Amino acid sequence: MSVLSGKKILLGVTGGIAAYKTTYLVRLLIKAGATVKVVMTPAARDFVTPLTLSTLSKHPVLTHFTNEEDENDTWNNHVELGLWADLIIIAPATANTISKMVNGTIDNLLLATYCSAKCSVYFAPAMDLDMYKHPSTTANFDKLASYGNLMIPAGDGELASGLSGKGRMAEPEEIIQFIEQHIESQLPLRGKTCLITAGPTYEAIDPVRFIGNHSSGKMGAAIAMELATQGARVHLIMGPSHVVCQHELIDRVNIKSAQQMYDAVHEIINVVDVAIFSAAVADYRPSNPADQKIKKKSDTLTIKLVKNPDILASVGAMEKKPFLVGFALETDNELEHAFAKVEKKQTDLLILNSMRDKGAGFGVDTNKITIIDKDKNTSTIETKPKTEVAKDIINEIIKRIL
């Protein structure tokens, strides 16, 4: 999965022959999972049609502050556009537009949006050889960089004038690669390795039946995705679950029993920086699972249970342990039990759920949690989607390990 997945990208197209390449760029951005809106300068319409880019982006292409064909139509708010974008790409960026960006000359919707933006701005110069080398142009490149803008270097090749040299706009694939690499280099968990357990465990009674619980694995999967989104290499050890969790940085190991989860954890625990235990692990298992299906012969059936290994406690007792995050699901005296678990399991953070809170617990798409640190300081995250709760948890971890 690309780091551009889910990003809101504003593509600014200016009046250069390289504008035709933006059709391919829009397609690649959409393929990467981004939402794309296009703003064109009036001159850009001479090189590529708004209809083409609107069809590819599935959004109206904007050129002017108002609809020239209907003076009563809604004003295109450049401030809202600038604030909507997670990042802006100006490609091609002509010498004329670059000069205006440097000097704050706002004579079209794109430049007004650029000056209103709070996000990262990438620009891909495209111009003829002599224009590219001109002292005013190189000075403008430096000035834009000093403003925090990021230049995607032009390539060498045949130019529209017939000359050959520097000034050819980077190819769409190169633009995508440049932006992805830059974003990845800024991710706070880049270079970190994390482990997370998720879902239930099933403890066999016989080949057909098991002891389990109602955990869906949704919270753990959301955390795994957020870890990967923040740049971490993630080892997800997942109990039986239908939840899909796919990302190029996530290595998923599917297990069934608590013992299998214990073994999988201890295979890699010594190489991880952060370990998060969100799985709902069965505390007990049948001592002697039957080899064959147990037949219904009497009105009662007695099953002897024995304790499962305590995975969280086993990691908490390690001399050199990773940053350790546990989960606790309680039904009564929640804080009292959670504080005791922090001490017993030696966690750095404990995430407390209560089954009494509406919108929290197993199977639902929302959660309400209390985060408890090892000094028993608490902070409560009110009910919200589990994907958002995952971000809050990871941000709390980042504050403590970086």
DSSP string covering 235-264: EEEE-S-------TTEEEEE--SHHHHHHH
Phi and psi at residue 126, to the nearest 5°: -150, 115
DSSP state for residue 45 in the 8-state scheme? G
Active-site residue (options: 213, 254, 353, 395) = 213
Radius of gyration of the chain (CA): 28
State the virtual CA torsion across 204, 207, 209, 210 in degrees, nearest 10. 10
- Burial (CB < 10 A; 0-12, 13-18, 19+), residue 180, is middle
User: Is 23 in contact with 170 (CB distance < 8 Å)?
Assistant: no
Q: 3-state class of 185 per DSSP?
A: helix
Q: Where are the beta strands (DSSP E) in 281-335?
A: 284-286, 305-307, 323-330
Q: Answer yes or no: 308 catalytic.
A: no
| Nearest Cα residue to 235 out of 267, 212, 205 | 267
Q: 3-state class of 183 per DSSP?
A: helix
CA distance 269 to 237: 12
User: Is 180 in contact with 9 (CB distance < 8 Å)?
Assistant: no
> Side chain identity at 86, as an amino acid letter?
D
Residues assigned a catalytic role: 213
